Amino acid sequence: EAGVAQSPRYKIIEKRQSVAFWCNPISGHATLYWYQQILGQGPKLLIQFQNNGVVDDSQLPKDRFSAERLKGVDSTLKIQPAKLEDSAVYLCASSSIIANTIYFGEGSWLTVV
Amino acid sequence: GQQVMQIPQYQHVQEGEDFTTYCNSSTTLSNIQWYKQRPGGHPVFLIQLVKSGEVKKQKRLTFQFGEAKKNSSLHITATQTTDVGTYFCAGRSGSARQLTFGSGTQLTVLP
């Protein structure tokens, strides 16, 4: 079974620039998550989708972050404009509706300089 | 909002020694999960506990869920170098759909 795919793996941008991350969840998983993990901390949920609807985006900085999952499969997370404190690993994850187990992708490492 | 705290933040042990990490929630949890993240890797699911007082074992790993369902622990017996990584607990309270992760315990095993 293929895992959660993410791209790009690494990105370096200057502050005030924009960046987009892509995620393809495990086939058949209705729930998709975007987590932000700052070095030395646990993952923090940014947004959770079920199919193409948003379940929870309470911790998403909506003035600069946006995410979509238009067809209920792939998802993109965008940051515009980026700030230095956005430097982190952006983890996409997915789970089925039945099971609680969350499967994480390898992550997209963002450095804002 | 819900907070999940873990201690210790770091732990260095000699290979063969035991290791324990503790997780405490500010609210009663409906379930708790444990994940392991190797250096440079992504979190990988280990186990889920649901019942009050539940104890589960996976080889040298023992997971416990407190009677009040507000705390949990992970104990590793006779650590090996392959146990190196950061161990996270993650809890879900009540009807909340969000899984809140603790800050993790980074384990170093010295050969």
Please report the DSSP string for A86-108 in residue order.
G-EEEEEEEE-SS----EE---E
Nearest CA distance, A46 vs chain B (angstrom): 10
pLDDT digits (tens, 9 = 90+) for A98-112: 777 899 999 999 999
Mutate to test the interface with B, among A101, A108, A109 (most CBs of B within 10 A): A101
Is A92's pLDDT higher than 90?
yes
pLDDT digits (tens, 9 = 90+) for A30-40: 999 999 999 99
Structure tokens belonging to residue B50 = 């649901």
Is A71's pLDDT higher than 90?
no
Nearest CA distance, B14 vs chain A (angstrom): 22
Is B97's pLDDT higher than 80?
no
- A55 close contact with B: CB closer than 8 A: yes
Question: Where does A1-113 have alpha helices with state H?
Answer: none
Q: Say if CB B92 and CB A48 are below 8 A apart.
A: no
Nearest CA distance, B91 vs chain A (angstrom): 11
B97 or B37: whose pLDDT is higher? B37
Residue of B nearest to A89 (CA): B42
pLDDT digits (tens, 9 = 90+) for B7-59: 999 999 999 999 999 999 999 999 999 999 999 999 999 999 999 999 999 99
At B96 the pLDDT is: 66
Query: Per mean pLDDT, which range of B6-15, B77-86, B96-105 is the poorest?
Result: B96-105
Instruction: Choose among A42, A44, A100: nearest Cβ to B33.
Output: A100
Give the integer Cα–Cα distance in Å for B111 and B13. 9
Cross-chain Cβ contact B97/A102 below 8 Å: no
